[in-house]
């Protein structure tokens, strides 16, 4: 009896050991291009030969560059007690009350770039019509350069739902899905993906190396490590090894962390859905005042706060959505203190739950579908401009004017903004790059 129990325990451990992945560097360094990002070999074609060509630097009030780095699915305490994250906190400001806005991943990425998640409560393949604005509109309106860098996306501008490549961690193992579109939010906005100039700024990690080495890392960037490096398929220790390989050298590299740079390292959401959605978030970089490094800040922030902080810093227009909702979009204090922006204090007892899932009606919710509404054009954001509107927007479509939510699932259909991964071919601006669009 005892003997067989021991055997079973041993074999369970073996099984776990066989599946647990151990970090391996995908390249010789974060600034070296690698075929590990482009396999099979036909994709060598897409090792970057092109560099962004942004000449202007628009001065911000507190920082001139912001780089967002998002990891996945980890509770605050799990990250905060992991050595590399502890030492990063000593170099920056640890935001101890920074919250994701719902579950699972995709709606959080949408919220961070669009000021809303439009009812989404899954990781399906969606697109958002071109009359709906996102952060890119606000940045371009003021001439601020931007890009997103997606690790293991096989080519710039790749529209596919996912990408499976040669396994670079375990030689000979089955190919691995390192890239998922659900973590690449700007691709979901037609205003970006269907614009031939803009879509070039949805870039690979080989282009990250290229842009940094050539001195053209944009002023605003959003970085998504692959499905193993961001802890999604792995553990916090795996992600810690990735940071040691990728982020730590960049923190001492003036081409990335030069003057007046803010690097926001955070997570899309907590692992535990039944608890408040507070994630580890740390403000790093030369823009963080020396006197504040190693301190904590318990102001209430959410993913909308990084939008409002960017608006406040560069005096941008707003999106007129949750980025202008004062109770969920406080500007990072070290920025607000310098710009004179007044944050809203919410007593602990009144802080809403950010772990609510599948309850918000919206155009990306098939269970409670309502069409897209125009933004609130009277909203006041953290910048001094008004609300940005895109061509084709019907300003009369206020939330009050829209019909009551409809359960499309009960009608055996889905929201019109959902796509099947097999139907992307017509949307792909670059030459078709995977089996899904062959
Ligand atoms: C791909 O990654 C593996 C694992 O770290 C490494 O051994 C190999 O050298 C990498 N290949 C290239 C071309 O960098
Ligand atoms: C810098 O840009 C040039 C021209 O686009 C390119 O050929 C070169 O590979 C880039 N440097 C690196 C290290 O990526
Ligand atoms: C959200 O978190 C709170 C606090 O832990 C918990 O009481 C509540 O049940 C959670 N809600 C959901 C939907 O899991
Ligand atoms: C602002 O956010 C709070 C907390 O999530 C929410 O209760 C409120 O409805 C929001 N206001 C608007 C106008 O969306
Ligand atoms: C956005 O554009 C679509 C057409 O693509 C239109 O049906 C919809 O009413 C518009 N919505 C808003 C909020 O302007
Ligand atoms: C919508 O309809 C589906 C299918 O009939 C059902 O399972 C689901 O509970 C409904 N949801 C709501 C919110 O009414
Ligand atoms: C499109 C293109 O010009 N691709 C080239 C980029 O650089 C690699 C490696 O130097 C070449 O093999 C490609 O042909």
> Is residue 27 scored above 50 in pLDDT?
yes
Residues paired with 68 in a beta bridge? 222, 264
Enumerate the domain spans of the chain.
2-437
pTM for the complete prediction? 0.93
Collapsing DSSP states into helix, strand and coil, what is residue 234?
coil
Token look-up 């099984």 returns 15
- Average pLDDT value over all residues in the chain: 91
Write down the pLDDT at residue 5.
Answer: 41
Q: In what helix (H) or strand (E) does residue 162 lie, and over which residues does it extend? A: strand 162-165
CB 230 within 8 A of CB 167: no
Q: In what helix (H) or strand (E) does residue 8 lie, and over which residues does it extend? A: helix 2-19
* 233 catalytically annotated: yes
Nearest atom in ligand 3 to the alpha carbon of residue 356 is 13
CB 336 within 8 A of CB 312: yes
> Is residue 426 scored above 60 in pLDDT?
no
Q: How confident is the model at residue 19 (pLDDT cuts 50, 70, 90)?
A: low
Q: Which of 190, 233, 237, 297 is catalytic?
A: 233
Nearest to 281 by CA among 19, 102, 94: 94
Rounded to the nearest whole angstrom, what is the distance from the C-alpha of residue 352 to the centroid of ligand 3?
11
Rounded to the nearest whole angstrom, what is the distance from the C-alpha of residue 26 to the centroid of ligand 7?
20
- Choice between 4 and 312, residue whose per-residue pLDDT is larger: 312
Please give the structure tokens belonging to residue 327: 């109770």
Contacts of 2 (CB under 8 A, 6+ apart): none
CB 374 within 8 A of CB 393: yes
**For the chain, counts of helices (H) and of strands (E):** 10, 13
Ligand 3 proximity of 359 Cβ (cutoff 6 Å) = no
Q: Average of pLDDT values for 277-300?
A: 98
Write down the pLDDT at residue 423.
Answer: 72
CA distances to 134, 340, 376, 382 from 335, rounded to whole Å, are: 22, 8, 25, 11
Question: pLDDT tens across 381-417, in order?
Answer: 999 999 999 999 999 999 999 999 999 999 999 999 9
Collapsing DSSP states into helix, strand and coil, what is residue 36?
helix
Q: Average of pLDDT values for 251-256?
A: 98
Write down the pLDDT at residue 51.
Answer: 86
Q: How confident is the model at residue 158 (pLDDT cuts 50, 70, 90)?
A: confident
Q: Average of pLDDT values for 425-436?
A: 47
Query: What b-and-e string marks burial along 250-279, b requiring 16 or more CB atoms within 10 Å of the CB?
Result: bbeeeebbeebbbbbbbbbbbeeeeebbbb
- Choice between 154 and 115, residue whose per-residue pLDDT is larger: 115
129 DSSP assignment: -
Nearest to 237 by CA among 14, 21, 19: 21
Write down the pLDDT at residue 425.
Answer: 58
Token look-up 């996912």 returns 162
Write down the pLDDT at residue 39.
Answer: 57
Write down the pLDDT at residue 157.
Answer: 87
- Choice between 332 and 19, residue whose per-residue pLDDT is larger: 332
CB 114 within 8 A of CB 168: no
Q: Average of pLDDT values for 84-89?
A: 98
345 DSSP assignment: P
For residues 337 and 22, what is the distance between their CA atoms, to the nearest angstrom? 42
Ligand 7, atom 4, residue with closest C-alpha? 45
Ligand 4 proximity of 325 Cβ (cutoff 6 Å) = yes
Rounded to the nearest whole angstrom, what is the distance from the C-alpha of residue 391 to the centroid of ligand 5?
10
């Amino acid at each position: 009896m005892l003997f067989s129990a021991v055997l079973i325990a041993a074999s369970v451990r073996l099984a776990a050991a066989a599946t647990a992945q151990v970090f391996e560097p995908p390249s010789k360094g974060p600034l070296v291009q690698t075929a590990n990002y482009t396999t099979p070999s036909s994709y060598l074609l897409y090792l970057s030969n092109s560099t962004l060509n942004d000449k202007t630097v628009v001065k911000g009030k507190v920082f001139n560059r912001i780089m967002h780095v998002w990891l996945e699915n980890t509770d605050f305490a799990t990250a905060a007690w992991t050595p590399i994250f502890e030492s990063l906190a000593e170099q920056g400001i640890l935001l101890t009350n920074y919250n994701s806005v719902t579950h699972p991943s995709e709606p959080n990425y949408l919220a961070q770039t669009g000021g809303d998640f439009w009812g989404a409560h899954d990781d399906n393949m969606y697109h958002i019509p071109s009359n709906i604005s996102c952060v890119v509109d606000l940045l371009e309106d003021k001439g601020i350069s931007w890009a997103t860098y997606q690790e293991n996306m096989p080519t710039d501008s790749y529209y596919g739902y996912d990408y499976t490549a040669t396994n670079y961690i375990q030689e000979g193992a089955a190919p691995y899905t390192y890239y998922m579109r659900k973590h690449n939010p700007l691709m979901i906005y037609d205003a970006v993906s269907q614009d031939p100039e803009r879509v070039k700024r949805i870039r690979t990690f080989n282009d990250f190396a290229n842009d940094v080495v050539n001195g053209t890392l944009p002023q605003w960037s959003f970085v998504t490590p692959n499905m193993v490096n961001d802890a999604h398929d792995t553990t916090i220790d795996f992600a810690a090894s990735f940071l040691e390989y990728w982020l730590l050298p960049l923190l001492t590299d003036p081409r990335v962390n030069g003057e007046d740079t803010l690097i926001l390292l955070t997570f899309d959401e907590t692992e535990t859905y039944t608890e408040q959605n507070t994630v580890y978030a740390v403000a790093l970089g030369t823009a963080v005042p020396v006197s504040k490094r190693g301190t904590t800040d318990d102001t209430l922030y959410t993913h909308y706060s990084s939008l409002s902080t960017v608006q406040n810093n560069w005096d941008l227009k707003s999106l007129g959505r949750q980025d202008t909702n004062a109770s969920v979009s406080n500007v990072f204090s070290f920025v607000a203190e310098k710009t004179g922006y007044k944050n809203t204090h919410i007593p602990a007892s009144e802080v809403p739950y950010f772990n609510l899932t599948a309850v918000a009606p919206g155009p990306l919710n098939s269970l409670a579908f309502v069409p897209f509404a125009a933004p609130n054009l009277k909203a006041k954001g953290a910048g001094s401009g008004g609300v940005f509107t895109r061509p084709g927007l019907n300003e009369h479509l206020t939330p009050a004017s829209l019909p009551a939510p409809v359960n499309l699932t009960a009608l055996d259909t889905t929201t019109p903004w959902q796509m099947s991964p097999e139907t992307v071919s017509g949307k792909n601006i670059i030459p078709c790059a995977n089996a899904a669009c062959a």
